[in-house]
Structure 1
Amino acid sequence: MQALLHAIATMELPTDARRIFHGRGGLYPGCEHWALDAYAPVLLLTSFKPVADEELATIGAALQARWQQIGAGAPLSWVFQCRHEGRSETRLMAGSVPEPHVVSENGTRYRVHVLKGQNHGLFLDMAEGRRWVREHVAAHPELERPGLKVLNLFAYTCAFSVVARQAGARQVLNLDMSQGALAIGQQNHQLNEISDGASFLAHDIFKTWGKITRGGPYHLVVVDPPSFQKGSFVATKDYAKLMRRLPDLLRPGGHALLCLNAPELGQDFLQGQMQEFAPELAFVARVANPAVFADVSPERSLKVLVYRAPD
């Protein structure tokens, strides 16, 4: 636990949403089950196995001591979540959580919810993926002409859509099976004063290809599915179905951003599948994860790959 305590003792006052300590990367022996995130003004401590109350008390004391140094007189608010055997228990340990709870990342605002569920509205490890989308759209030569289109598959709360619209994309089509997630996505657009240019479809992607195809072709397609969600998506059998569609969905010279957060599947899984099912698309680069998410094995961590359609 010493590595986690050291991270707490040296952390700066968080302003943006970000990870502070990433034990899951395996770089800190004995701390593999710990993660500490900032959803300012709230800290979220997560353990991926049961822990003793004495450990929590030690961590809480460390958080309180550091907050007295950096918190500028504001009270400490922190939440603890234990995830074990597919279940989670969440407790407010000190302070309070704003309602609505709005955080920022690189100047963009998002609704989050740290007291319920295991997905809190914004995946912090995808920060560089969002940065890539923003910079890619902003630099696109077709921005000088109307019509840049983005397709955001498995949109969740539509963070990719928000940054794409902020960067100048004219249209973004967001698809996700969860109406609740898309409702938060609509709120995220409103938070950032984006009143038009984004559409939201709560559909099963695999049953909606007609609507998806009619909305294209697209300059950018973002594919960020769950790695395993029974009844929705299983990467090992379903990713290929998406890859087969990409050549027809993309404009000449268009790009696809393929994401996969499955520790058991490495980069070679995505690249091998793309070579088999969409060989005409060329691999461009892998987007680096935020430095704090460093892993003893990069193949276990989040994979974000960029592909390009031929001109």
Structure 2
Amino acid sequence: MSSLPLVSAIEKAFSARQTLIESLHGEKTNAYRLFNGSTENHPGLTVDRYGELLLIQTFHAPLEADERIAIENYYASALPGLITVYNDRSQSNSRIANPLQGQEQAEAEKQRQFSELGLNYLVQGRHSGQDPWLFLDMRAGRRRILQEAAGKSVLNLFAYTCGIGVAAAKAGATHVVNVDFAESNLNVGKENARLNDLPIRMRFVQSDAFAAMRQFAGIGQASMVRGKRMPAFPKLEAKRFDLVFLDPPRYAKSAFGVVDIVNDYAALMKLALACTHEGGTLICCNNAAQLSREIWGDQLLRCAKKAGRTVREIEWIQPESDFPSHDGQPPLKIALLRV
């Protein structure tokens, strides 16, 4: 297959982003999506810049050798000096099935620093997980947190590497709690915090989100359920927050509950609402492409009503223009609710 149509597509995408890139650089941001294949005529291919790292990823099929060379050559000319890492994620165990050699492996596993909206974060082309350490489409959410968090207590659920928490602390939040099940994610979050001159010390809680939310909500988490001992979990005092950020994965199952953002988002939202002060703000995220904004928005409103909470205002936060959408329905949906 000729690489010419692909080069034409990435060139068109780069040209379309020039105004955005110039604006982002003015905001001390050097991380953005350069090519979003699902909406730019090459589904299954993404190209992201994280500072000096150029991260190429494939999700449906690996690149042909000439395609990879063509992409690397194009960006070597358009953005000289970047280090390229290619991750083929089209098969299971892709890190094993797609080994790198020598210097290429060393470059892929090197920790690097990049900037977004004046904040510093770590990235590593390859690590023990699959996804990059910061999701670039969530820039819109982190931007909004910088505007919202001053003077507020913040609960960051499914915190991953704590980008939302770092933004909240930098914005002047009085108290920030990051909750994630994976110690490795929180360790990166702690490093992200150290990279920035934050006015407060954030709290990092390694816990299943259901167990944490039940305790913060004052419901409590039992150690025994239906005669079975639950896995160990940290004991937390009841506390409500001014601002709660809920960004769950698509699906996860544990002894404490099932995360299913397509079929049962309400199970999470009900508990998140119970952790949110009356008059506070709950920001909900959903990355399931097959679920429309209208259908999901209706689910959120019905859940709040059933929980006895009034939604005074709902606002949709759109991903920024390096994540273009054909129909105004980007996969990532972010709903800000005043409750």
How would you bin the TM-score normalised by the shorter chain? 0.7 to 0.9
Indicate the residue corresponding to 2:252 in structure 1: 229
Indicate the SS of the match to 1:208. helix
Q: CA deviation at 1:235?
A: 1.3
The question of 1:120 aligning with 2:132 is answered yes
- Asked if the contact 2:273–2:282 (Cα under 8 Å) also holds between the matched residues in 1, the reply is no
Tell me the amino acid that sits aligned with residue 290 of structure 1: E
Name the CA shift for 1:277/1:94 in 2 (closer, same or farther; >3 Å).
Answer: closer
Indicate the residue corresponding to 2:290 in structure 1: 264
CA distance in 2, matches of 1:276, 1:181: 33
Indicate the residue corresponding to 2:65 in structure 1: 53
Indicate the residue corresponding to 1:216 in structure 2: 239
2:163 is matched with which residue: 155, 159, 166?
159
Indicate the residue corresponding to 2:223 in structure 1: none
2:192 is matched with which residue: 184, 188, 195?
188
Deviation larger for 33-42 or 245-254: 245-254
- Asked if the contact 1:42–1:97 (Cα under 8 Å) also holds between the matched residues in 2, the reply is no
- Asked if the contact 1:33–1:47 (Cα under 8 Å) also holds between the matched residues in 2, the reply is yes
Map 1:241-256; keep pairs closer than 5 Å.
241-256=267-282
The question of 1:289 aligning with 2:295 is answered no
Indicate the SS of the match to 2:288. coil
Indicate the SS of the match to 1:101. strand
Tell me the amino acid that sits aligned with residue 78 of structure 1: T
Q: CA deviation at 1:197?
A: 3.5
The question of 1:3 aligning with 2:15 is answered no
Indicate the residue corresponding to 2:89 in structure 1: 83
Per-residue CA deviations over 1:186-210 (Å, capped at 9, x if unaligned) read: 1111111337441111111112334
2:52 is matched with which residue: 41, 49, 67?
41
Per-residue CA deviations over 1:70-96 (Å, capped at 9, x if unaligned) read: x3xxx4410111121444346576994
Indicate the SS of the match to 1:65. helix
Map 1:268-283; keep pairs closer than 5 Å.
268-279=294-305, 280-282=309-311, 283=313
Name the CA shift for 1:94/1:88 in 2 (closer, same or farther; >3 Å).
Answer: closer
Indicate the residue corresponding to 1:21 in structure 2: 35
- Asked if the contact 2:121–2:192 (Cα under 8 Å) also holds between the matched residues in 1, the reply is yes
Tell me the amino acid that sits aligned with residue 102 of structure 1: Q
Q: CA RMSD in A?
A: 2.6
- Asked if the contact 1:158–1:182 (Cα under 8 Å) also holds between the matched residues in 2, the reply is yes
Gap runs ≥5 in structure 1 = none
Indicate the residue corresponding to 2:224 in structure 1: none
Per-residue CA deviations over 1:225-280 (Å, capped at 9, x if unaligned) read: 11123546221344211222244322221000000111111223432222222123
Name the CA shift for 1:163/1:103 in 2 (closer, same or farther; >3 Å).
Answer: same
**Number of residue pairs matched?**
292
Indicate the SS of the match to 1:57. helix
Q: Identity, % of aligned pairs?
A: 28
